[in-house]
Amino acid sequence: MTQRFALMIDPVAADETRDDYADTFTLVDAAAPALSVGELSTQRGDGVFESIGVVDGHAQEVVPHLDRLAHSARLCDLPEPNAQQWHQAIDQAAAGCGKGEAVIKLILSRGIEHGPTPTAWVTAAPAPDFSAVRQRGIRVVTLDRGYDLGAAERAPWLLLGAKTLSYAVNMAALREAHRRDADDAIFLSSDGFVLEAPTASLILRFGDRFVTPAPNGGILHGTTQLSMYEYLATRGLETGYDRIPASDLPRADAAWLVSSVRLAAAVTAIDGHELPVDHALTDELNRYLLSPRD
């Protein structure tokens, strides 16, 4: 079983190339003090992160996660992470994960206020047991995110397309969903379009076509959603991206929230409206998502 641990990273320039970055990693006990009280990740949530699923010691879809980490860093005016260095850190962390499911988190922070460099680290920990959720599915509610679909382009300083450490709103949305006797939420734009879940992407099926909201308007392009689309394409099924009005949600023939650690959870109801559930396809998708994926 995976033990909790962390690798502190001494970041090097994005264009620095070498064969081995091991001397830039420091292994620390995840429960031991490791950050300064002046660290901006904890004071302001000023940083970006990624969560990578690990299955039997294999880190899933490392390159797409690193690409998205770099994208978030650019949006936040953080130094570009060195992909080779971070890849080696992920490999070292994955090697410390035993059998079963684990989660590796990548964190890049602005560091100490007025400090010389950013702070960077990788953590590894056992993943929560989502087997029951994958079997039974989840009930969701829709929540107004408070921005229209054009807000991200009109106001890029809102960082709506970055995966930042400022997750207070996402966690508040989940608590509100629980208050409404649901398991999760789907954000809607203020002008009535479907966005994403607080910690997952949404995939809908209408007939034989699978659709997800187009990755604009501050929607994170989900790595698990992309992988699922690749798998569905091998099955000869049609996939696409659309602007999806909220009024279309009750018409869906099936729906899933997908993410790197929970994987595919079938949506059984939206705002109390029951949805059909394709249990066989859900099981098939999760078998695929649990297989080694690069």
Which residues are 109's β-sheet partners? 47, 119
**Measured distance CA(263)–CA(279) in Å, rounded:** 14
pLDDT digits (tens, 9 = 90+) for 26-59: 999 888 888 888 889 999 999 999 999 999 999 9
Over residues 235-240, mean pLDDT? 97
Say what the pTM is.
Answer: 0.95
pLDDT digits (tens, 9 = 90+) for 66-107: 999 999 999 999 999 999 999 999 999 999 999 999 999 999
Cα 93–97–100 angle (5° rounding)? 145
Domains of the chain, each with CATH number or no CATH: 5-127 (3.30.470.10), 131-290 (3.20.10.10)
pLDDT digits (tens, 9 = 90+) for 170-189: 999 999 999 999 999 999 99
- Extended strands (E) in 110-180: 119-126, 138-144
Please provide the distance, in angstroms rounded to a whole number, between the alpha carbons at the two ends of the chain. 22
Mean pLDDT of the chain: 95
Closest CA to 138 of 205, 202, 219, 229: 202
Over residues 249-278, mean pLDDT? 98
